[in-house]
């Protein structure tokens, strides 16, 4: 879940399990043939080669801004990881959103780009306080560090009790590329010093945008 408290700004979900590293293919059995040893030409063709190097692909640019025109939301986004309780960390104020940097970015080929923010902080109400009012089909723009704007279309809005927060679904790294916006909602529980629900907005990439 994403607990939101006013005295200690923090929100989070269960940290999605990191993907398992790729296992190199196991060597196969030696190829059988005649009793004669293979010729040198067959084993080592006379073709010059250059040793291969594993060069990791560059990481997709991080998101730096999220805009929901229908709600007047226009917020900076900063990368965030996991806090000391194993939950997604969030910026300390409600005017800045956090992107889960261990998950997909807007330009990733698959999975959910998760952007979350506090609904409020000790000083002010944040822009995501109106997130629950977004309509189906509304546009959401995410600008990345390369200056590219990625447009999404809202396909789902849910208010979910914190005890039922679907972390596996929200942080899913597989499936069609999509955007998930999260903040707190429901009523303020004075005893728990937390809101009772999370507002989760899902948006799919807009074709041709």
What tens digit of pLDDT does each residue of 22-37 get? 322 333 333 344 444 4
Give the C-alpha separation, 199 to 187, whole Å. Answer: 12
Rg of the chain in Å (alpha carbons): 23
pLDDT tens per residue, range 152-184: 999 999 999 998 999 999 999 999 999 999 999
What pLDDT shows up at residue 141?
A: 99
Torsion-angle region of residue 171: left (phi > 0), alpha (psi -120 to 50) or beta?
alpha
Q: For residue 171, give both structure tokens.
A: 């942080």
pLDDT greater than 60 at residue 21? no
Q: How far is CA 109 from the centre of its chain?
A: 12
The length of the chain in residues reads: 209
CB 9 within 8 A of CB 121: yes
- Strand 73-80 with 97-100, pairing: parallel
Nearest Cα neighbor of 76 from 144, 8, 174, 170 is 144
Task: Record the pTM.
Answer: 0.75
Sign of CA dihedral 10, 89, 104, 95: positive
DSSP annotation of 107 = T
Q: Which residues pair with 179 in a beta bridge?
A: 113, 203
CATH (one of 2.40.10.480, 3.40.605.10, 3.30.450.20, 2.40.260.10) for 63-205: 2.40.260.10
User: Is the pLDDT higher at 56 or at 109?
Assistant: 109
Per-domain residue ranges of the chain: 63-205
Give the C-alpha separation, 172 to 169, whole Å. Answer: 5
pLDDT greater than 70 at residue 45? no
Q: For residue 82, give both structure tokens.
A: 């996991």
Element (H, E) at 203: strand 194-205
**What is each CA distance from 205 to 112, 121, 139, in whole angstroms?**
11, 31, 10
User: Is the pLDDT higher at 16 or at 68?
Assistant: 68
């Amino acid at each position: 879940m994403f607990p939101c408290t006013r005295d200690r700004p923090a929100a989070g979900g269960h940290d999605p399990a990191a993907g398992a590293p790729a296992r190199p293919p196991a060597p196969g059995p030696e190829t059988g043939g005649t009793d004669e040893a293979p010729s040198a030409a067959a084993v080592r063709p006379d073709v010059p080669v250059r040793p291969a190097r594993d060069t990791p692909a560059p990481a997709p640019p991080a998101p730096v801004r999220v805009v929901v025109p229908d709600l007047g939301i226009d917020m900076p986004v900063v990368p965030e990881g996991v806090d000391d309780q194993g939950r997604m960390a969030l910026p300390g104020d409600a005017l800045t959103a956090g992107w889960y940097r261990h998950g997909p970015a807007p330009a990733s080929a698959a999975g959910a780009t998760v952007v979350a923010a506090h609904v409020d902080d000790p000083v002010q109400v944040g822009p995501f306080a109106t997130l629950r009012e977004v309509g189906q089909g509304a546009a959401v723009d995410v600008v990345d560090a390369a200056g590219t704007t990625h447009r999404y279309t809202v396909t789902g809005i849910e208010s979910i009790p914190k005890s039922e927060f679907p972390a596996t679904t929200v942080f899913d790294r597989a499936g069609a590329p999509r955007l998930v916006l999260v903040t707190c909602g429901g009523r303020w529980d004075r005893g728990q010093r937390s809101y009772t629900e999370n507002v989760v907005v899902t948006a799919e990439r807009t074709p041709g945008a």
